[in-house]
Amino acid sequence: MDGRITSLDIEEYPNTEVQKNQVLTLEEWQDKWVNRNTAFHQEQGHQLLKKHLDTFLKGESGLRVFFPLCGKAVEMKWFADRGHSVIGVEISELGIREFFTEQNLSYSEEPITEIPGAKVFKSSSGNISLYCCSIFDLPRTNIGKFDRIWDRGALVAINPGDRKCYADIMSSLLGKKFQYLVCVLSYDPTKHPGPPFYVPQAEIERLFGKICNIHCLEKVDAFEERHKSWGIDYLFEKLYLLTEK
């Protein structure tokens, strides 16, 4: 044993206010892509999603699946290849273009008339549409409702002061009999300012508990060598399934 804390030893950190004033601007997120500071991207896709994919999809076909703050997530192609319609939103045009290039997908782009300066990128097959804009501008596009939402690296990246607004937008996108998977991280927020930000279960319940049943599917040790530079000594990832109440 290396002496690190295990999941049996740790409860959720009691001070949920310590990061509340932390802010990252959209320009700072765009700079992360330009400077290749994108360690959050998972080239092999998310293993917990892979493990729980059948639970998530429930054998249904032709679903509308939403990826908030999608980056160049390879999972978008997983769903498209299964015949589902994928819509994502991402502030970095570079990240969106890299997705299509790395997945060998041809695409077109067009302006989003409702949002000056914003664009939507669409795969030639028509089943992947990625909106390049702030997620807080997305409601202006009449994007419709979704059957599934995969929220990994999104809720944990939103500035803590903006979470209620974010949750309201996400709630407005939920269709009938939705399944909403959200990944959050547990660590000592007094040692790392974020992002990714610490999001305890109580926060998920505060944001979504009125309209969603909330079930923790799994908790895994996600600590890697690179996380030592954050000043933390433990990091757990938790996968929650939100369903219609």
What pLDDT digit, counting tens, does each position of 199-235 carry? 999 999 999 999 999 999 999 999 999 999 999 999 9
Q: How far apart are CA 242 and CA 68, in angstroms?
A: 15
Q: How far apart are CA 40 and CA 107, in angstroms?
A: 24
According to the annotation, is 37 in a ligand binding site? yes
SS3 10: coil
Q: In what order do the strands lie in the sheet with 236-244?
A: 107-111, 119-123, 128-132, 85-90, 64-67, 146-151, 174-186, 236-244, 212-221
According to the annotation, is 36 in a ligand binding site? yes
Q: Is the pLDDT of residue 1 over 50?
A: no
According to the annotation, is 103 in a ligand binding site? no
- Cβ(153)–Cβ(183) below 8 Å: yes
According to the annotation, is 134 in a ligand binding site? yes
According to the annotation, is 15 in a ligand binding site? no
Please tell me the pTM assigned to this model: 0.92
Superfamily name with CATH number, domain 26-244? Vaccinia Virus protein VP39 (3.40.50.150)
According to the annotation, is 135 in a ligand binding site? yes
Q: Is the pLDDT of residue 21 over 70?
A: yes
Q: Which among 200, 238, 222 is positioned nearest to 12, based on CA atoms? A: 200
According to the annotation, is 30 in a ligand binding site? yes
Which pLDDT does position 27 carry in this prediction? 77
Question: Domain extents for the chain?
Answer: 26-244
According to the annotation, is 69 in a ligand binding site? yes
Buried b / exposed e over 87-117, threshold 16 CB at 10 Å, is bbbbbbbbbbbbbbeebebebeeeebeebee
* Partners of 150 in beta bridges: 181
Sign of the Cα pseudo-torsion (30, 114, 147, 78, in order): negative
According to the annotation, is 33 in a ligand binding site? yes
According to the annotation, is 31 in a ligand binding site? yes
What pLDDT digit, counting tens, does each position of 76-106 carry? 999 999 999 999 999 999 999 999 999 999 9
According to the annotation, is 152 in a ligand binding site? yes
According to the annotation, is 39 in a ligand binding site? yes
